[in-house]
């Protein structure tokens, strides 16, 4: 079932009635608005309707329908599929329960599917919405426009490379290529 759905414009939550109409409007405007659909143990019919509307990748759909996946991040075309396995400690019984959260991230949407009690997301969404809308202002990819997604990724990679490079002068640090070389012999 769909437990929450909203359109986010400049970090502010807006109502989302019909998913198709909202998505068409977002795509036509070319803005950084995005749709966030949250589902919990969705029926096959609900999931099929949402996945067709958003054009989710068939292999990612198969993994989410099958469930019980290992934690992973996979890229499919312009989107990503993420599987998380949160744990929850139940104090009364000293049990540890596991849940499963699957996330589809695209240029104009985020779909979260949670399975089990150990995977609540309402608190996360509430904190993001209350946090001055800063995190939600930049869309699913953290960039202010769709066209800058690839450039922000490149910038992020450059920063990562340069930060690794700056640490290579310390003894025992990894070289910028990420390969580990054995220390030279002092004989």
Spell out the per-residue pLDDT of the chain, length 187, in tens: 898 999 999 888 999 888 999 999 999 988 889 999 999 888 888 888 999 999 888 888 888 887 788 899 999 888 999 999 888 888 899 998 888 899 999 989 999 998 877 666 777 888 888 866 677 887 787 664 454 333 333 333 333 333 333 333 333 333 343 333 444 545 4
Q: Could you give the CA distance from residue 62 to residue 34 in angstroms, rounded to a whole number?
A: 24
Cα–Cα distance, 75 to 130 (Å, whole number): 30
Res 132: pLDDT = 63
The pLDDT assigned to 78 comes to 85
Strand partners, 37: 5, 111
Instruction: Classify residue 164 by burial, with Cβ atoms within 10 Å: 0-12, 13-18, 19+.
Output: middle
In angstroms, rounded to a whole number, what is the distance separating the alpha carbons of residues 119 and 6?
20
pLDDT of residue 143: 61
Q: How many residues does the chain have?
A: 187
What is the structure's pLDDT at 75?
Answer: 93
CA distance 23 to 29: 10
d(CA 7, CA 146): 16
pTM for this model (two decimals): 0.70
């Amino acid at each position: 079932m769909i437990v929450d759905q909203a359109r986010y414009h400049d970090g502010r939550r807006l109502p989302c009635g019909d998913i198709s109409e909202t998505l068409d409007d977002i795509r036509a405007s070319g803005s950084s608005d995005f749709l966030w659909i949250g589902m919990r143990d969705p029926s096959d019919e609900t999931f099929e309707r949402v996945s067709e509307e958003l054009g989710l990748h068939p292999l990612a759909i198969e993994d989410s329908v099958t469930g019980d996946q290992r934690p992973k991040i996979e890229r499919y075309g312009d989107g990503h599929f993420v599987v998380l396995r949160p744990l929850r400690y139940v104090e009364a019984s000293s049990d540890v329960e596991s849940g499963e959260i699957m996330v589809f991230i695209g240029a104009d949407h985020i779909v979260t599917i949670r399975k089990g009690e150990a995977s609540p997301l309402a608190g996360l969404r509430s904190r993001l919405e209350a946090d001055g809308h800063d995190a939600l202002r930049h869309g699913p990819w953290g960039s202010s426009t769709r066209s800058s997604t690839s450039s922000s990724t490149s910038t992020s990679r450059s920063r990562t490379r340069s930060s690794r490079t700056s640490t290579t002068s310390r003894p025992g640090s990894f070289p910028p290529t990420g390969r580990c070389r054995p220390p030279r012999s002092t004989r």
